[in-house]
Chain A
Amino acid sequence: MASIDIANIQKSYGSHPVLHDVDLAIRDGEFVVLVGPSGCGKSTLLRMIAGLESVTAGEIRIAGKRVNELAPKDRDIAMVFQSYALYPHMSVARNMSYSLRLRKTPKGKILQVVAGAAAKLGLEPLLERRPRALSGGQRQRVAMGRAIVRQPKAFLFDEPLSNLDARLREQMRAEIKKLHKDLGATSIYVTHDQIEAMTLADRIVAMNAGVVQQVGSPLDLYDRPANLFVAGFIGSPGMNFFEGRYHAGERPRLEIAGGVGIPLETPAPIAEGDFTTLGIRPEHVVLAGHGPETLLANVDLVEPTGFGIILHLSLGGSSFKAFTHERSFLTASGTVPVRFPDHSLHFFGQDGKRI
């Protein structure tokens, strides 16, 4: 196992930059998830660590050693591909042992390691099958098995679960987490699915347009998103945003479109008259109360999910969502009282950064 240091990494294709100055230090044994929308550069970054893409500028160190110039085979890393990339003409056992055979590992040792990995992943009855004869979930396991037999310095995962159906994805997610607990291997995991990121990561690296937006623990990103992008990307249904002008004074409030004023319980750290964006997660909207800080929102649509209810509401033309477990809202219509508790509010400046 090893640490991975990424220092001022840049990548461009011709004159078209795809990664700007990425800096990241991954500790030994840490599980780091790179998350972001497609095209944000997360896969490119992973492939640069693997050695499948060249580095335009900056330095990558694995276990303290510069690897920029090393071929993938000399970096001692393993990778699980989105397509699994299993060798179709080899049996499961030969797929898993290919790396060991390339390294001229003794036969007895290979057998033992493959058997161990197969036991861990429940692949024993499938060892002689070809990948074609496996289900999606089984293929996924073989791809994992191929990675773990080598005991590499680090595991790289490139959207490994995105070809599975929802149920299987959930199950494999748990298995990957368990595996990481067992092996304690340094892992870098790329996904566009924020739930995978939240559930798996020790630390999340949120990326957008080739720039790292925030690095932190899953709850850091959920509780204190550094900017509008992270706030909107993490959490489902996504955070509500209201743009408006701040009015301080005795009863501080945010004046939003349609002449509606959202009352705030305590003054915000914003100058009088400044434009700001207020964010609140749907699950933090309180659907009750009366008094001066309560507003009446129009009910536009009710979406039952079974687990709870998503209400599509609007305030003076600005629509937002609220999430509740209260079944009585299934039949909500007309207007409902809403309140935005102070401790759940996020403020973002005009540059999009958290205030």
Chain B
Amino acid sequence: MEYTLRRKGLPAIRPPLMKRIADASAPYLYTAPALILIVTVMLVPLVLGVSYAFRDVQLLNPFSGAFIGLGHFRALAEDEAFFRSLRNTLWWTGASVLLQFTFGLILALLLDKPFRGRALAQALVFLPWAVPSFLAGLNWAWLFNPVVGPVPHWLYAIGIMSQPANILSDPQLAMWGPIVANIWWGIPFFAITLLAALQAIPRDLYEAASIDGAGPVQRFLSITLPFLAPTIAITILLRTVWISNFADLIVVMTGGGPADRTQIVASYIFTQAFKRLDFGYASAVALVLLALLLAYSLLIVILRQWLISKD
């Protein structure tokens, strides 16, 4: 009796089940190609890279590959070059982000109000962002080169330098080369993001504040800044992570020299892998960098949470 009942019920239950399966699989079908690509080209190498950090992997040495535990990390703890690159990373990232942000914010404020020719001005000042990073690096390296570039001559003319020399070969000043190139290249990103946030501030707030008697400075401090704060915080934090990983300019402009003065961790990893073909050691350095950045990212998440809960 019960059996026949269930048999009778079958046709009624079947279609929804089939439909449920079809419905449930649709989003996975749409995302599968992207997901497969990300997993095979990014996630698998990441796991592999983590394992390299504990193995002796050298590209041209067929006898390498053995598990060596924390060997790389012990070597790392005594690697002067690594610690120098860590300090350089801080310097490179801090100066780049701070100056990019400052000039980006000023640019965004300048572009906020409509004026004749704004569209053109905007396209022109954002143009460096479209320049490929390697070309930006080369371009600035040439500008700093006293043979073809004007910058050394200018610096000499205003008395900063005693003779027109290349700052990229001066150990004291070399880091400023990539930093200036990075500022030139990165201002548009900050300006675009901050400009969008500025435009999202309701205009009548400013009008209300004016009627209440607030001057331009007060309006900036009491309306603009609080509204921009979340965007500023998040952009700066994300950008910090990105720039500390950004080795292109340094590889192109100085190759880490002179005397490792411009070597940052990211370019150090690249040098270890590309020039010395020591993949194991490169992976160990990368793992340390990843750990530092993850700790830093955690800070982002906490800060973001805090900002959201504050509103």
Contacts and interface: CB of A to CB of B under 8 A. Distances in A.
Interface residues of A, number: 2
Nearest to B23: A54
A69 interface: yes
Interface in A330-354: none
Contacts of B16: 68-69
Contacts of B6: none
B310 interface: no
B150 to A, nearest CB: 51
Contacts of A69: 15-16, 19
A68 B13 CA distance: 11
A interface SS class? loop
A69 B21 CA distance: 12
B: contact size bracket? under 10
A68 B16 CA distance: 8
A69 B13 CA distance: 10
B250 to A, nearest CB: 47
Contacts of B19: 69
A176 to B, nearest CB: 34
Nearest to B14: A69
A307 B15 CA distance: 57
Interface in B55-89: none
A68 B15 CA distance: 10
Nearest to A69: B15
Interface in A65-88: 68-69
A210 B15 CA distance: 27
Interface string B9-26: 000000110010000000
Interface in A21-69: 68-69
Nearest to B12: A66
Contacts of A68: 16
A69 B22 CA distance: 12
A240 B288 CA distance: 75
A60 to B, nearest CB: 13
A61 to B, nearest CB: 13
A62 B310 CA distance: 52
Interface string B257-272: 0000000000000000
Contacts of B15: 69
B222 to A, nearest CB: 37
A69 B20 CA distance: 9
Interface of A: 68-69
Q: 4 closest Cβ contacts across the A-B interface?
A: A69-B15, A69-B19, A69-B16, A68-B16
4 contacts: A68-B16, A69-B15, A69-B16, A69-B19
